[in-house]
Amino acid sequence: MKPINVGLLGIGTVGGGTWTVLTRNQEEITRRAGRPIQISVVADRNLERARQMTGGAVKLTDDAFSVVDDPSVDIVVELIGGYTVAKDLVLRAIANGKHVVTANKALLANHGNEIFAAAQAKGVMVAFEAAVAGGIPIIKALREGLTANRIQWIAGIINGTTNFILSEMRDKGLAFADVLKEAQRLGYAEADPTFDIEGVDAAHKATLMSAIAFGIPIQFDRCHIEGISKLDAADIRYAEQLGYRIKLLGITKRSERGVELRVHPTLIPAKRLIANVEGAMNAVLVWGDAVGATLYYGKGAGDEPTASAVIADLVDVTRLHTADPNHRVPHLAFQPDQLTDEQVIPMDAVRTAYYLRLRAQDKPGVLADITRILADMNISIDALLQREPEEGEEQTDIVVLTHVALERDVNTAIARIEALDSIAGKVTRIRMEELKG
């Protein structure tokens, strides 16, 4: 049977892994797909690297647009990243009637609505399993495996760099800046780690999962994003004492007000499985009304784990290459004309529990002032921890765990607490999630 010809845009880490795995497992992949899948042309700015990787076995070019215009190419695999040139390449490939496989979460989070609409109009597929959680097949689970469920919420550790940093801070008691340097030395963090440590990468991925879970348009611009760069090692220690772990979570859930979409450090009970995901690993917890909680765990990055997802998409596209476009799995799981216009709600309308740490003078009446302010804002206290001051100190840490409260009320309470003469500096606020069915 005639092979499916693939044009590979970018043969860096993931592109190289894709070439390696596709070559190594060619026979097995052909048996699954029903016909051979072969990379017929590779575009990369570094032709020498591409030549070394492929051994000169395929056509090489430094002109990616020539690949998407090549009539012999059936599927374009976009692995160059970014969302400027990549967007132009993907839209041109679609216009030329080619299917697209991409690992580019930033592109889809920012321009996915336009890209999927173009693909729908042209009758081609855009597959993106590798864009979220690397080798973990979470997109397929949400689009197909859990299709009978009304999904209620998703919570995911979906950035390995930040999970590695938080694990090291907890295990070794080190400061954030020290662990970041170590992560960069080991290759877990980029030279410019901003997208990872400030939560942007996780927000791209959470946005895509939210759209698939709830049948809504992609709304990255409405995602609340906080990273881990301001986390203090003291908060990690206090969380441990109280029976919690701190993880950077991407969270999306249904609420009576609409859809929540947020990325931020989160206290999770230490007994939860997801709280014990350590190092650079990823995990996604999904709760559906029929199946309950399901957990997906594995490597969220790396050459061959991500290549595994890229090639799975290639096999899916190959199987459905000649199928009626109206009978393929929709890009966002729901039929395009059945997406709702439900909006992602602002953060101040979210309800969750909170960890509050404040530096207070060690004198009578301080706790009474704090509890009165919380009570005035309808915020009830679940637990309270007050550290004994060191000898000679006049201030001490007070940690308050609240029951579920409205973010807007908590913001007001924090402002009033910070205005007290007995409070030094800012209140540290970390949200809490029980993550139980």
**Catalytic residue annotation:** 205
Q: How far apart are CA 10 and CA 79, in angstroms?
A: 5
- CA distances to 99, 236, 257, 268 from 247, rounded to whole Å, are 37, 10, 25, 7
What residues have CB less than 8 Å from 75, skipping those under 6 apart? 4, 5, 6, 7, 98, 99, 100, 101, 314, 317, 318
Closest CA to 288 of 423, 141, 85, 91: 141
Token couple for 129: 């399993």
Rounded distance between C-alpha atoms, residue 284 and residue 332, angstroms? 18
Copy the structure tokens of residue 264: 């931020």
Q: Would you say 75 and 6 are in contact if contact means Cβ atoms under 8 Å apart? A: yes
User: What number of other Cβ atoms are within 10 A of residue 12's Cβ?
Assistant: 17
Q: Which of 11, 4, 5, 3 is nearest to 60 (CA)?
A: 11
